[in-house]
Amino acid sequence: MNHAMPTLALLAATDGANYEVTDPLSFIEYGVYFVVALAITLWVGRTLFRSGRAFLVDAFHGNAEMADSVNNLLIIGFYLVNFGFMLLFLSTGTPPTRGLTVAEHLSWKLGIVVIVLGVMHLINLIVLNGLRNRGLNSTPPPIHKA
């Protein structure tokens, strides 16, 4: 009686050629990459969200409601861009043949993710600083009491 174990298969494309990924090293690599990249992205995003609030409140002349709204929009955009990049960068191009290859692929992919997160952080800082400077150089509109 032949009891074949079901296997998970993942189709990957590289250089126009399709191949089926069924080896456990590829699944380990994909799993570790996704979990670590997700954790790093969430940590950076939460840090930016918490630290950016005070900066935005200052930029919006103490208008905490507007600052919170902009902060929420910025973090959503940050997560969308970074999660999209993480998913696009998931494929290694070639399946790993041994544990060392998995480590090499992971170091390369996670290093690129960290660099992209750093670039996104710098872009956020530039945008936030521009908002803050614009807010500090302008006066808020007068509030008319009814």
Q: What is the pLDDT of residues 99-142, one digit of tens each?
A: 888 888 888 888 988 898 888 888 878 877 887 777 667 666 66
Under a CB-based contact definition with an 8 Å cutoff, are residues 127 and 121 in contact?
Answer: no
| Structural domain contains residue 16 | no
Please count the structural domains in the chain: 1
| Structural domain contains residue 47 | yes
Question: Is residue 41 pLDDT above 50, yes or no?
Answer: yes
| Structural domain contains residue 68 | yes
| Structural domain contains residue 21 | no
| Structural domain contains residue 13 | no
| Structural domain contains residue 9 | no
pLDDT, tens digit, 9 for 90 and up, residues 45-74: 899 899 888 888 887 788 899 889 988 998
| Structural domain contains residue 132 | yes
Q: Regarding predicted confidence, which is higher, 20 or 9?
A: 20
| Structural domain contains residue 14 | no
Residue 144, token pair as written in the block: 């008319």
What is the extent of the structural domain holding 31?
A: 27-93+101-137
